[in-house]
Amino acid sequence: MTAVQRNNVKILGSGERTLMFAHGYGCDQNMWRHVTPAFLDDFKIVLFDYVGSGHADASAFNRTKYSTLHGYARDVLDIIGELQLSRVNFVAHSVSSMIGALAAIESPRPFETMTMIGPSPSYINDGAYVGGYERSDIESLLETLESNHVGWSAAMAPAIMGNPESPELAAELEASFCRMDPALAHHFARVTFLSDNRADLPHLGIRTLILQCQKDVIAGLSVGEYVHQCLSKSQLVLMDASGHCPHMSAPGEVIAELKKFL
């Protein structure tokens, strides 16, 4: 099986530069549909699903490989290698920000820029570092997900999405959570929420845009500022958008900031 087949890769548009969009936990490549049309004329657009998400081949799941975010980063590099991509501008939502960072640290040559939307290198508070959660909070969240996948999805989707005036957005996110295989959803959640990539950040040497939302319950402003401080070639933009998924709730603002950066 090729990486293109395994990760359900789709290629749109044309151009010498590549935009590679990477979805967050519980999502899939379809979540970028409001953003990609704005770049079709100038970029080759690469979309994919992580194993365990969307229409990726679930039979490719390997518990050892995917026990850390490095396994998912390896898949990103496999796709880039198979397609012989260069000048890759990696646009990452949430956990994909750290996956993309790990990929670019391991193999920087094909990467041109990195855009991180709502990144967090660690969700757990640690001394002066405020990740937003105590470890007990995360363990409780994971226990609930494991015991009641549907109930967890219904409760978490509105909080993650924010924007209560647009309940259809939370409903879409909830449906996406529920489509995941419960065992794979719990595994990816555990890897996502228990990872600590703070020590990796200073090794990312490419130009990076950090898009930070208002009132993000998953990755608050202090986390975005921390990531910015760790990346020597980064710029932090505090958007008017709120919630954790601005590419769905405020795609126009994401498009505008991404175009300025690129």
pLDDT reading at 202 higher than 90? yes
| pLDDT value of residue 253 | 98
| pLDDT value of residue 90 | 98
Place of tokens 């090794």: 203
Place of tokens 């020590």: 199
The predicted model gives 178-199 an average pLDDT of 96
Rounded to 5 degrees, what angle do the CA atoms 172, 163, 122 make? 85
When pLDDT is cut at 50, 70 and 90, the band that residue 194 belongs to is very high
Neighbours of 130 (CB within 10 A): 16
Residues 41-53 pLDDT 10s: 999 999 999 999 9
pLDDT reading at 15 higher than 90? no
Neighbours of 36 (CB within 10 A): 21
| pLDDT value of residue 244 | 97
Query: Options 3.90.950.10, 3.40.470.10, 3.40.50.1820, 2.102.10.10; which CATH number does 3-123+197-261 get?
Result: 3.40.50.1820
* CB 50, CB 44: distance < 8 Å: no
Both structure tokens of 172: 């879409």
* CB 242, CB 162: distance < 8 Å: yes
Catalytically annotated residues: 94, 216, 244
Cα→Cα distances 194→71, 75, 214, 246, Å: 15, 20, 24, 24
Q: Give the bridge partners for 45, in sequence order.
A: 12, 19
pLDDT reading at 151 higher than 90? yes
When pLDDT is cut at 50, 70 and 90, the band that residue 14 belongs to is confident
Can you tell me the distance from the alpha carbon of 96 to that of 116, in angstroms, rounded to the nearest whole number? 8
| pLDDT value of residue 81 | 98
pLDDT reading at 16 higher than 90? no
Tell me the pairing of strands 207-214 and 10-13: unpaired
* CB 2, CB 82: distance < 8 Å: yes
| pLDDT value of residue 116 | 98
CA atoms within 13 A on the CB side of 165: 3
Mean pLDDT value across the chain: 97
Between the two ends of the chain, the Cα-to-Cα distance in Å is 33
Contacts of 199 (CB under 8 A, 6+ apart): none
Q: Which of 177, 246, 262, 259 has its CA nearest to residue 34?
A: 246
Can you tell me the distance from the alpha carbon of 227 to that of 235, in angstroms, rounded to the nearest whole number? 10
The predicted model gives 204-210 an average pLDDT of 98
The predicted model gives 142-171 an average pLDDT of 95
| pLDDT value of residue 218 | 95
